[in-house]
Amino acid sequence: MDKKELEQMLKSVAEGTTSVDEAMLKFKEAPFEDLGFAKPDFHRGVRQGAAEVIYGAGKTPEQVLKITKSLRENGQKTVLITRMKDDAAELLKKEIEDFSFDELSRVGIAGSLPEKDGRGKIVVATGGTSDIPVAEEAAKTAEVYGNEVVRLYDVGVAGLHRLLGHMDEIMSARVIIAIAGMEGALASVIGGLADCPVIAVPTSVGYGASFGGVSALLSMLNSCASGVSVVNIDNGFGAGYLASMINHIE
């Protein structure tokens, strides 16, 4: 159950179409299930407005499958799985009819995408093509949470005219996710152009002195452009989640 479903249930009680006892029974259902190796959280959507996500790295295929089925059986219509391994994806394809997997971003989705109910558009921009796996993790996360996403890929500072050719998308966005490796300059440039919050994502793309994304991270943290916040290296999921929260503020 998420916040919308809770609101609908309360409205139905007020309208007399659902009894108080029926509503209480629904709400009293166990907020989690103990699988031994995991405790899927069924009430996270009520508490936080966004249902639980499965972090696939470090889990066996069977564990990912059991957690996914547990969440689905307890009312979660769409389950997002990040950092999936190929063997886990193959197992879920066999066992779950409406499961899809994107090899580039390593993102799996069980269920269909919800209706877009965000207040505006989320723009996901990358410095280069090599940043796209992280960008797709961010974009798919935002889409799972009901947002319209505009992708602007390979618009980095090595050819600034490519970014400036998309000023309409930049100026009409409600949130922008700027994803870049190397020196991470894209976030500052976009931050100096846009009138909305910018979420910067440093990636581990770059030569030796980029230190696996630390160079981009420090550049983004030291951005002189106002309104730029920074998530961790390669954390596309975190950026997509935060962007969705901003895009759903009334």
Domain ranges of the chain: 1-30, 31-110, 121-247
Q: pTM for the complete prediction?
A: 0.84
Topology (CATH) of 121-247: Rossmann fold (3.40.50)
Average of per-residue pLDDT across 159-168: 92
pLDDT reported for residue 65? 95
Is residue 94 within 8 A of residue 110, CB to CB? The reply is no
Angstrom distances, CA of residue 215 to CA of 136, 167, 189:
22, 27, 16
pLDDT reported for residue 107? 96
pLDDT reported for residue 18? 77
Specify the higher pLDDT residue, 234 or 1: 234
DSSP 206: S
pLDDT reported for residue 19? 78
Specify the higher pLDDT residue, 227 or 29: 227
Specify the higher pLDDT residue, 210 or 28: 210
**150, burial (CB in 10 Å: exposed 0-12, middle 13-18, buried 19+):** middle
Q: Which residues contact 153 (CB under 8 A, 6 or more apart)?
A: 125, 126, 129, 131, 132, 135
pLDDT at 172 over 90: yes
Q: How confident is the model at residue 26 (pLDDT cuts 50, 70, 90)?
A: low
* Lowest-pLDDT range of 13-27, 49-63, 101-115: 13-27
Q: Longest C-alpha distance within the chain, in Å?
A: 66
Strands (E), 21-63: 54-55
pLDDT reported for residue 10? 72
Distance CA 194, CA 123 (A): 11
